[in-house]
Amino acid sequence: MNKIFKMIMVLFLLATFTYAAGKVTGASEHEVPKWFKQSFLDISEDVDDATAKNKHLMLFIDLDGCPYCTKMLKESFIAKNATSKFIKNHFDVINLNVKGSRELTWKGKSMSEKEFAIDLRIQYSPTILFLDKDKNVVLKLNGYRTIQSFKTILEYIDGKHYKNQTLSEYLDTIKNKSTKSTSKKAKEMKDLSNISSPLAIIFEEKKSKACKDFNKVTLKNKDVKKELSKFTVVRFDANSNEEFIGIDGIKITPRAFVKSINLDYRPGVLLYNDKKLIATQDALLYSFHFKELLRYVSEKEYKYFDTYLQYLAVRQKELTEARVDIDLSK
């Protein structure tokens, strides 16, 4: 009996070892501040309430376990600083969840938080929506922003500069301008119209800490390098006035191009396949998420998934079932 029991235990342990799923680390749970507005989630009524107080309505849309949500909430909403104080004074803030089941009313229609996220084509977490008094979304902000950059964006909304300028134009008027290109590849590749492979265009700024981190950490990650090798990679100084020929065959400068598409985040990455823009990275993405965004485009997963987030949920499960460990935090 002892031998049989030992054999069963050995087989059980082998099976457990063989089929153990990969681990996901780096996710972080978070709670929204208690001062966020408690709402019946009739968005039109919430806008009217905010307008009556001479405020804008902000919708902070998060996802459970999202490290970017946790980071931004801690820095810009929970910590006591000029940014959090500005938010309290000038905005009503409501929290929604990308996959949430609570019912809300949007433009007269009843839907769940998840359906709302699909309707608004939410691709990132967090995504922050700002609404004006007429219930229009005047800015959709994708992903994490630093305390300083978020404060500037809040001032753009509070000052109603969106009536006359895009965010990209507004940021351009208040920051130091540089026309010196910092990219060797930008000088080598002036014509993008004949590129037939997947194409990644990276727009950077010389003084940007996020750009430095992107180069030192993300682009040196071995998995990112492997996926990025499938792309033709072109890098531009976002403030350069040196002309290049775009994928559409039209001459334009990097500075004019980022303005034309309102690309306000640096580094901003545009990902093309079959000469079509498939995805835009305009927010902080750690290595795993950036690697998978590259794969979403190069492997044409967009043909099977409407959004990157839908793809990511399936892909993460696929990797863990294949016993691949995933770190979401770096």
Contact between 324 and 21 (Cβ < 8 Å): no
User: Does the 184-327 domain belong in CATH 3.40.30.10?
Assistant: yes
User: Would you list the domain boundaries of the chain?
Assistant: 43-164, 184-327
Q: Tell me what pLDDT residue 167 has.
A: 93
Q: Report the distance separating Cα 121 and Cα 100, nearest Å.
A: 15
Angle ∠(155,160,163) on CA atoms, nearest 5? 135
Q: What is the pLDDT along the chain (330 residues), one digit of tens a residue?
A: 454 444 444 444 444 444 567 888 888 888 899 999 999 999 999 999 999 999 999 999 999 999 999 999 999 999 999 999 999 999 999 999 999 999 999 999 999 999 999 999 898 899 999 999 999 999 999 999 999 999 999 999 999 999 999 999 898 887 744 334 344 443 357 899 999 899 999 999 988 899 999 999 999 999 999 999 999 999 999 999 999 999 999 999 999 999 999 999 999 999 999 999 999 999 999 999 999 999 999 999 999 998 888 899 999 999 999 999 999 988
Contacts of 216 (CB under 8 A, 6+ apart): none
Q: Report the distance separating Cα 241 and Cα 176, nearest Å.
A: 15
Q: Which of 270, 238, 277, 254 is nearest to 190 (CA)?
A: 254
262: left (phi over 0), alpha (psi -120 to 50) or beta: left
Q: Report the distance separating Cα 24 and Cα 178, nearest Å.
A: 41
Q: Tell me what pLDDT residue 183 has.
A: 40
**Could you tell me the two tokens for 277?**
């823009």
Element (H, E) at 129: strand 127-131
Instruction: Name the β-bridge partners of 294.
Output: none
DSSP class of residue 312 equals: H
Q: Which fold has domain 43-164?
A: Glutaredoxin (3.40.30)
Query: What global pTM score does this model have?
Result: 0.81
Q: Tell me what pLDDT residue 19 has.
A: 52
The reply to whether 184-327 shares the fold of 43-164 is yes
